[in-house]
Structure 1
Amino acid sequence: MGFLTQTSPQVDPSTFLRQPFFDRMRTLATHWVDNGFGTPRIVHVIYLAKLALLYIVGGVAVATLTSDVGSPFDIASWWNEPIVYQKLVLWTVLLEVCGLAGSWGPLAGHFKPMTGGITYWLRPGTIRLAPWPTKVPFTGGDRRTTGDVLLYLALLISLVVALALPGVASHGLSEAVPDSTGGLLRAGSLVPIMALLVIIGLRDKVVFLAARAEQYLPVLLFSATLGFVDMIIAFKLVILVAWMGAGFSKIGEHFINVIPPMVSNAPFNPFRRLKREHYREYPADLRPSRLAWFMAHVAGTTVEIAIPLVLLFSTNPTITVIAAIAMVAFHLFIISTFPLAVPLEWNVLFAFAAVFLFVGYPAGDGFSVFDFSQPWMLPVIVAGLLFFPVLGTLRPDLVSFLPSMRQYAGNWASAIWVFAPGCEARLNELDNPARNQVDQLQAMGYEPDAAEITMQMTLAWRSMHSQGRGLNSLLIRHVDDLDTRTVREAEFVCNTLVGWNFGDGHLHDEGLIRAVQSRLNFAPGELQVMYVESQPVQSKTQSYRVIDAALGVVERGTWRVSDAVSEQPWLPDGPIPLTVAWTRPGYVPGALSAKGERR
């Protein structure tokens, strides 16, 4: 990677783009091994500066200067003050819900402008995606109204107000920590935030998920309703479920495929040999190596499951500190890889929480899960926190992978969008603050062919994951004129249409496709989407569907996950086996031309 320039494949762009699709995927996947996305390092420096100045310095300044906890520079005076942690959570929610934290900037598909989020959600007429528009009254439609904008603005104001207000005294805090000076957040200031998150979420799941409400809403709820000791223990359970849920979700065949491309994309890893060691036999075999298995299931999964349990139950101060340091190192490693969707702020907060919660309020000092004031609280809180992770594991079609706690598990609902020639440009007709990424890149000075190759790098990245081999197999089955089509990674398309995406395929399924179709009226064959749902824990297969924007779902079926993970990204042996369960009457796979005509 260059500091100011992108590291691109050494090809002649115009000649390269005339090659067959899977030849291009092989070249780009092989290039990814050594270079990742090839992003200029200055971009990563910008992210680090944003993280340090806006999030860490800004958050600490806001949390300390609005609370009676001492100087921001005197870390010893405030690191274990509960109100500082509470306000850092609020600060994180504010940045997330503005689109200034996760899924921000070039690494998340926001090139010019770098911010989606607030620029969409304060704009009437943009697309909104209600989770249950036919079941919940007053949530139908897909167009953002002035009322939606006002609700969103009220949420921002309520967050700012809660951050600005000083803490209030707490009898439980005074008894447990007599020398604490900051107090706790006012319960009354949190009620509007929680209510608005729920109301907005029922009208637009994008804003709800962008706020990372599945993790921060419980923290606000416990802050508003529980006594101090019970609150701290409940906070521990929140972070424990997030850690262990992510760990358990990585048990299986998917996660090992996440590690090699993630390590390859780490910007400050100069060791090309180490990157290649994560693949079986570069460049011929890009399936994960034994080292990748170790990094996935020992350095990754085991850490996320075992060490949180040590933190929760340890009453030995030395062991607790060592375990907390291990979790801090774990989150710092994730930050160093700059994973797509770039959840850097989330990782910093969780690293801080590991120290604040478990070292600041250790189990041996009356803050263990057995110290709840009422014995029923432990099973009730645990059951509440586990409801969506368990449901999402059994029925991933019903729950976003974020409340399911499957972040970066590799088991994702995913899609690729396929446009007839010239049809992608029609997305620019939508009333959005941002144009298509290929146009954003050209506005930054990229030549058209270079911009196109950059966008195809995202397809190569997807092909290096398990679901990418299945989606590409659907391309072979359903698109006869593939080499003439424009193929796009759906996560990046979603960012330009709704302003945010965190790898959640549910944000670019039929709901988004219908919203686009209602505005642009594509003809049959002009926009086709290959979509796959996450794998349920009790199944060996993943369910797919093929969607034509004009016709709706035209095929449903499954593929075996073992077949997907055993193939190369460029499918040299052809498509993996597909089991077709249903086909729309009259639809013949591959029979629609680019203009919707029958072949």
Structure 2
Amino acid sequence: MPFKDPVFPAVDPQEFLAKPLMERIRVLGTQWAEHGFGTPYMVHTIYIVKLLVMYAFGGVLVATLTSGLHFWEIGSWWNQPIVYQKLVLWTVLLEAIGIAGSWGPLAGKAKPMTGGILFWARPGTIRMRPWKWIPGTNGSRRSIGDVIVYLALLASLVVAMALPGVQNSSFIDGMTKIGLDTSSGLVRPIVVVVPIVLLILIGLRDKTIFLGARGEQYLPAMIMFAVLPFTNMIIALKLLIGVVWIGAGFSKFGKHFALVIPPMMSNSPCLAPFRALRRAAYKKIPDDMRPSGFAHFMAHVMGTFVEIAAPLVLLFSTNKWITLVAAIFMICFHLFIISTFPLAVPLEWNVLFAYTTLILFLGFPNADGFALWDMSPWWLALIIAAALLFFPVLGNIRPDKVSFLPSMRQYAGNWATALWAFKPGAEEKLNRVTRSAPNQVDQFIAAGYPPEWAEITLQMTIGWRSLHSNGRGLFSVLLDTLPDIDTRTVREGEFLCNSVIGFNFGDGHLHNWDFIAAVQEEAQFEPGEAVIVWAESQPIGKKTQDYKVIDAALGVVEEGTWIVGDMVETQPWLPDGPGPLQVTWSDLRTTQGHKAGQPA
């Protein structure tokens, strides 16, 4: 792959763009299998430099200089809790600004590369409230008050990092019993309370900022910093990362996750020299694009099994060598994710979790008084575990009630998703919406792509979506409900959402019908101009996924389901036509017993 130039499909762009949608999907899906997004290595280099220089070097420099430690003396600070605390705060700050995850071209941000603060510090941009029943949250636009609270959150994180640490008796006792220096202390609990309160306050008004700051994981950590005595804090942090790992591992049971592995491996620049390994993840490129036995092994042995078994070992083992092996597994697990450059690009999150594994489980071993059963009182560990498990359990039972991030379903393939289908020229109306970036195709053109190749590059994202189970369901509904689909512009909902609210991490709840209604307030699509197919995650215990067809001008016009197993077994380009659908309600047609491809 060239360092500066992207890899485009070997097609004539004008002829390609004139082809029917599913013919294009077949080409795009095969292109993704062979080359991933086709991103030039220069872009990956930018991400790596950002990760190593701004995040890792910058974070450690800030954490050590403000804590009386020497940056170059790694042995003196790697196991100091204040360094970990300040790296968490540093990560929250960068995520909340929008320069960590969901940043840059891989997240659909070409020019500008940053969303986050450019949107969230601007009054009038779209605000996504989490629950309608919360008083004082009416409306869909960001106010000056929202901007003030958001900027205050950023300032409070800076203050919490800048102040030196303080000591207390529980910290001194805990550090002394394992022979560690106590001079650097801990982050002052009172200064952590301020960003906690502000993050909750802004989160009740705007779930986008809360999720953008990764509040579902870092808020519990900050609360633990603020209220727990030292030994209990370390044990609770172990529980937190354990729940994240095991919850994510549990979510990978089922039919979705095996389909995530092939496109993830295809997008890894580290595997580019190993073409045979990339191709081995598919049954037979280009004729059978379903996951191979090797992909199933990677998904459910190296993925699901390791992500559940290794954390259980770390939580309960008192043998230092067994603990070391499990820690190495989890560190390598996060390094592998980084190497694939997933489209949400959560690189900083994975580096922090690798370091979290190192400091919590090797720096404060279970055998030295930091095991779950060492929490005082012992039953507090049960209460904390139950609290941490509440949203993952609820989110798997009722995914419509909980974002997939608090549900701990990262990378599982079982996501709420959407595709937008615009009549010719209608997409331009999105530029009427108050935001800090134009449509993504315009961004790629501004970044130097010829218009036809900018369009094909953006269509690569729907090719990527077709390689997943939910993509095949979404395309089935589009084909079944829109006779003119071949003339429409089809956009991946997650990417489109990124250009409108400045963030998305694969969470379809951020571009649901509330988002569509907020966009419609300014875009003013005519009926039929913008039709969205939106699907909810699959609940545990059910074989189906629910979908909605939404006309931006009219609202929900159809509801139905598909059986996940049907979509998993078909090819991305749906050679046999749309997968079977069960329409449960429709303003478009008679619904009783209707199946795709059959008259209602």
Q: Which residue of 1 aligns with 2:231?
A: 229
2:9 maps to 1:9? yes
So what's the TM-score if we normalise by structure 1?
0.97
Q: Which residue of 2 aligns with 1:286?
A: 289
Q: C-alpha separation between the residues in 2 aligned to 1:576 and 1:43?
A: 37
Q: Which residue of 1 aligns with 2:165?
A: 167
Q: C-alpha separation between the residues in 1 aligned to 2:29 and 2:370?
A: 49
Q: Which residue of 1 aligns with 2:123?
A: 124
Counterpart secondary structure, 2:151: helix
Report the CA distance between 1:584 and its aligned residue.
Answer: 2.4
CA deviation string 1:153-174 (max 9, x = no partner): 1000000000001111121111
Seen in structure 2, the aligned counterparts of structure 1 residues 446 and 588 have a Cα distance that, compared at 3 Å, is: farther
Q: Which residue of 1 aligns with 2:597?
A: none
Mean CA deviation greater in 310-319 or 377-386: 310-319
Q: Which residue of 2 aligns with 1:36?
A: 36
Q: C-alpha separation between the residues in 2 aligned to 1:586 and 1:345?
A: 48
Q: Which residue of 2 aligns with 1:490?
A: 493
Q: Which residue of 2 aligns with 1:516?
A: 519
Report the CA distance between 1:126 and its aligned residue.
Answer: 0.6
Q: Partner amino acid for 2:188?
A: R
CA deviation string 1:68-125 (max 9, x = no partner): 2x21111100111111100000000000000010000000010000000000011111
Q: Which residue of 1 aligns with 2:598?
A: none
Q: Which residue of 2 aligns with 1:526?
A: 529
Q: Which residue of 2 aligns with 1:182?
A: 184
Contact 1:554-1:587 at 8 Å conserved across structures: no
Contact 2:6-2:38 at 8 Å conserved across structures: yes
Aligned pairs (5 A) from 1:294-373? 294-373=297-376
Report the CA distance between 1:586 and its aligned residue.
Answer: 7.2
Q: Which residue of 1 aligns with 2:63?
A: 63
Q: Partner amino acid for 1:582?
A: W
Report the CA distance between 1:519 and its aligned residue.
Answer: 1.3
Contact 2:256-2:568 at 8 Å conserved across structures: yes
Match of 1:477 among 480, 484, 487: 480
Q: Partner amino acid for 1:21?
A: L
2:569 maps to 1:562? no
Q: Partner amino acid for 2:149?
A: L
Contact 2:245-2:308 at 8 Å conserved across structures: yes
Q: Partner amino acid for 1:418?
A: A
Report the CA distance between 1:314 and its aligned residue.
Answer: 1.0
Q: Partner amino acid for 1:517?
A: Q
Q: C-alpha separation between the residues in 2 aligned to 1:373 and 1:588?
A: 59
Q: Partner amino acid for 2:73?
A: D
Q: Which residue of 2 aligns with 1:443?
A: 446
Q: Partner amino acid for 1:66?
A: T
Q: C-alpha separation between the residues in 1 aligned to 2:26 and 2:286?
A: 9
Counterpart secondary structure, 2:269: coil
Counterpart secondary structure, 1:268: helix
2:77 maps to 1:78? yes
Q: Which residue of 1 aligns with 2:206?
A: 204
Q: Partner amino acid for 1:412?
A: W
Report the CA distance between 1:375 and its aligned residue.
Answer: 2.2
CA deviation string 1:455-511 (max 9, x = no partner): 110000000000000000011111111111111000011011000000000000001
Q: Which residue of 2 aligns with 1:383?
A: 386
Q: Partner amino acid for 1:18?
A: A
Q: Which residue of 2 aligns with 1:263?
A: 265
Match of 2:470 among 453, 467, 471: 467
CA deviation string 1:199-240 (max 9, x = no partner): 101111000000101100111101111100000000000000
Which consecutive residues of structure 2, in runs of 5 or more, have no partner in the other structure? 593-600
Q: How many residues align?
A: 587
Q: Partner amino acid for 2:441?
A: V
Counterpart secondary structure, 2:138: coil
Q: C-alpha separation between the residues in 1 aligned to 2:129 and 2:529?
A: 26
Report the CA distance between 1:188 and its aligned residue.
Answer: 0.8
Which consecutive residues of structure 1, in runs of 5 or more, have no partner in the other structure? 590-599
Aligned pairs (5 A) from 1:401-480? 401-480=404-483
Contact 2:583-2:591 at 8 Å conserved across structures: no
2:282 maps to 1:241? no
Q: C-alpha separation between the residues in 1 aligned to 2:216 and 2:432?
A: 34
Counterpart secondary structure, 1:361: coil
Q: C-alpha separation between the residues in 1 aligned to 2:291 and 2:565?
A: 14
Q: C-alpha separation between the residues in 2 aligned to 1:103 and 1:377?
A: 36
Contact 1:21-1:483 at 8 Å conserved across structures: yes
Counterpart secondary structure, 2:270: coil
Q: C-alpha separation between the residues in 1 aligned to 2:371 and 2:434?
A: 52
Contact 1:194-1:217 at 8 Å conserved across structures: yes
Report the CA distance between 1:325 and its aligned residue.
Answer: 1.4
Q: Partner amino acid for 1:469?
A: R
CA deviation string 1:308-343 (max 9, x = no partner): 111111111111112111111111111001011000
Contact 1:167-1:182 at 8 Å conserved across structures: yes
Report the CA distance between 1:180 and its aligned residue.
Answer: 2.2
RMSD value, Cα: 1.1
Report the CA distance between 1:268 and its aligned residue.
Answer: 2.0
Q: C-alpha separation between the residues in 1 aligned to 2:430 and 2:511?
A: 14
Q: C-alpha separation between the residues in 2 aligned to 1:524 and 1:426?
A: 13
Q: C-alpha separation between the residues in 2 aligned to 1:322 and 1:487?
A: 46
Q: C-alpha separation between the residues in 1 aligned to 2:260 and 2:139?
A: 36
Seen in structure 2, the aligned counterparts of structure 1 residues 474 and 586 have a Cα distance that, compared at 3 Å, is: closer
Q: Which residue of 2 aligns with 1:581?
A: 584
Contact 1:531-1:545 at 8 Å conserved across structures: yes
Counterpart secondary structure, 1:417: strand
Q: C-alpha separation between the residues in 2 aligned to 1:115 and 1:493?
A: 15
Q: Which residue of 1 aligns with 2:137?
A: 139
Report the CA distance between 1:376 and its aligned residue.
Answer: 2.1
* 4+ residue runs over 3 A deviation: 585-589
Q: C-alpha separation between the residues in 2 aligned to 1:181 and 1:248?
A: 41
Contact 2:584-2:591 at 8 Å conserved across structures: no
Q: C-alpha separation between the residues in 2 aligned to 1:377 and 1:477?
A: 53
Report the CA distance between 1:587 and its aligned residue.
Answer: 8.7
Q: Which residue of 1 aligns with 2:401?
A: 398
Q: Partner amino acid for 1:262?
A: M
Contact 2:558-2:588 at 8 Å conserved across structures: no
Q: C-alpha separation between the residues in 2 aligned to 1:71 and 1:145?
A: 43
Report the CA distance between 1:130 and its aligned residue.
Answer: 0.5
Q: C-alpha separation between the residues in 1 aligned to 2:370 and 2:354?
A: 19
Q: Partner amino acid for 1:163?
A: M
Counterpart secondary structure, 2:373: coil
CA deviation string 1:493-535 (max 9, x = no partner): 1011000000000000001100011112211101110010000
2:101 maps to 1:99? no
